Amino acid sequence: MTPKQLCAMSHAMATVAVFSPKGGVGKTSLSVNLAWVSATLSSRRTLLWDLDGQGAASFILAPGLKRGDAARAVIERKVEPERLIVPTGIERLDLLPADDTLRSLDATLAGIGAAKRLRRIADDLGRRYERVVIDCPPGLGVVADQVIRAASAIVMPVIPSPLALRAATALRHHLDTRGKGRPPLLPVFSMADRRRALHREALAAAPDQPVIPMASVVEQMTARHQPLGAFAPRTPAAEAVAALWVLVERRLAAE
């Protein structure tokens, strides 16, 4: 089933969080590419919400955008998200950009004391968008707890290596403490290199888990300021992301 065919299965708004306790696992590139597939192949009105203070997703999709200081104000409900949202030049795909004020997002949310702040903002955004894809900062702190409450599904990129797998186990344990209210978790092997013995072993141990291969074309996204589907749609990496989005839509439709 294609992403566009799956689009007819569920019309309810959904928030898809791309999250990992560990940085450097390909989280941002996966967020950008999933948002592109949602908007382009699934024809969904999609927002990519960049919550990572590094702003890498914002740099890829809106390189000419001047970084301001209002992203935290959106979290604090002092500024409406609509004031910051910008078009990306890709049909049906908008961006809620990050800036340096999100580098202390854990402290900001802790100071606010509203446990469902991100969920409420995401629900408000759902009045305009069918899918909100969140590029989350790494770590297991206050932001993680809020993302778990806000997300309809969590996509967790994991490099097939011992340290990354250990971090993934920590997230599963963290989700288990949430009980029945937790969102579905979709782990995906990211930056997988079958030339490496440890990667091959990890892939063999979980043969049903989606795999995004290591590819130099992914690194070109930053230079081109485009998702893979826009300039290399027939590469294995782009096709793997499209297949992953099909799984995401199926899980959303099943909820």
Give residue-wise pLDDT tens across range 194-252: 999 999 998 998 899 999 999 999 999 999 999 999 999 999 999 999 999 999 999 99
The residue range of the domain holding 214 is 3-254
Torsions phi, psi for 47 (to 5 deg): -120, 130
> How many folded domains does the chain comprise?
1
Among the listed residues 214, 203, 208, 209, the one whose alpha carbon sits nearest the alpha carbon of residue 236? 214
Q: Rounded to whole angstroms, how far apart are CA atoms 131 and 64?
A: 25
Higher pLDDT, 48 or 21: 48
Between the two ends of the chain, the Cα-to-Cα distance in Å is 18
Name the amino acid, one letter, at 154: I
**Is 60 exceeded by the pLDDT of residue 64?**
yes
Q: Region 149-165: what's the mean pLDDT?
A: 88
> Alpha carbon of 63 to those of 32, 39, 45, 58: distances in Å?
14, 19, 21, 7
User: The domain spanning residue 27 has which CATH number?
Assistant: 3.40.50.300
pTM of the predicted model, to two decimals?
0.92
Environment class of 51 (CB within 10 Å of its CB; exposed 0-12, middle 13-18, buried 19+)? buried
**Is 60 exceeded by the pLDDT of residue 6?**
no
**Is 80 exceeded by the pLDDT of residue 7?**
no
Contacting residues for 66 by C-beta, under 8 A, at least 6 apart:
none
∠ CA(46), CA(22), CA(102), 5° rounding? 55
User: Per the structure block, which two tokens stand in for 27?
Assistant: 């989280």
